[in-house]
Amino acid sequence: MPKTSGFDEGRAHAIIAEHIGLEGPLLPILHAFNEEFGYIDDAAVPHIAAALNLSRAEVHGVLTFYHDFRRAPGGRHTLKICRAEACQSRGSEAVARRCLAKLGVGWHETTPDGELTIEPVYCLGLCASGPAALLDGEPLGLLDADRLGEAVQEVCEP
């Protein structure tokens, strides 16, 4: 869960300063932004690029290459559904389709109430327990659509 919400230029510069001395600081800076703000605002890209003497295109390329970096605020909860081959062979695509349809969202989208963001992942290392997912970082295995729906309902409805 992010510590703050929204982009804060002063805090952004502090995060950059905290990580600038690391070898290969770009990824640690992006992870820190994700942790602090819950996403990496487009307004942060020029600041990061300037501090690291990189082009904005280079920062953008890294930002968009890795699926863990959000480019917009996410929901209060995050569901990551495995789409790797082992989980697919055990029915994860059908489970995911039913979940997305029930929630009325697509991949990388947040439910209209702001409660849940759905993300694809391409291996959780839970191959023997597939289909698998992470719900707010907690692993779920041997899923079917009903079990996944119950888990989502448990965290999203008080």
Q: What is the CATH number of the domain that holds 133?
A: 3.40.30.10
Last residue of a domain, one of 65, 90, 112: 65
pLDDT mean over 85-98: 95
- Under a CB-based contact definition with an 8 Å cutoff, are residues 46 and 7 in contact? no
Average pLDDT, rounded, for the chain: 90
Query: Do 146 and 81 share a structural domain?
Result: yes
Q: Which residues lie across from 77 on neighbouring strands? A: 116
Query: CB neighbours (10 Å) of residue 56?
Result: 14
Domain end among 36, 65, 94:
65
Nearest CA to 117 among 151, 87, 73, 82?
Answer: 73
Q: Is there a single domain that holds both residue 94 and residue 137?
A: yes
Indicate whether 145 and 121 sit together in one domain. Answer: yes
Instruction: Find the angle CA(19)-CA(71)-CA(152) to the nearest 5 degrees.
Output: 110
Tokens 């990388």 correspond to 108
Q: What percent of the chain has pLDDT over 90?
A: 72
End-of-domain residue from the set 44, 65, 86 = 65
Is 142 contained in some domain? yes
- What is the reported pLDDT for 71? 86
pLDDT for the residue 9: 87
Alpha helices in 5-143 (DSSP H): 9-19, 26-37, 44-52, 56-65, 85-89, 92-103
pLDDT of residue 38: 85
Asked whether residue 43 carries a pLDDT value surpassing 70, the answer given is yes
Lowest mean pLDDT among 59-73, 90-104, 138-152: 59-73
Contacts of 44 (CB under 8 A, 6+ apart): 7, 12, 33
Residue type, 142: L
The structure's pTM equals 0.74
Domain region containing 146: 77-156
Q: Which tens digit of pLDDT belongs to each residue from 2-18?
A: 444 567 889 999 999 99
> Residues 36, 91: one domain?
no
For the segment 93-113, the average pLDDT, to the nearest whole number, is 93
How many domains are contained in the chain? 2
| Residue 142 and residue 81 in one domain | yes
Q: Categorize the per-residue pLDDT at 158 as very low, low, confident or very high, splitting at 50, 70 and 90.
A: low
Provide the pLDDT for residue 70.
Answer: 85
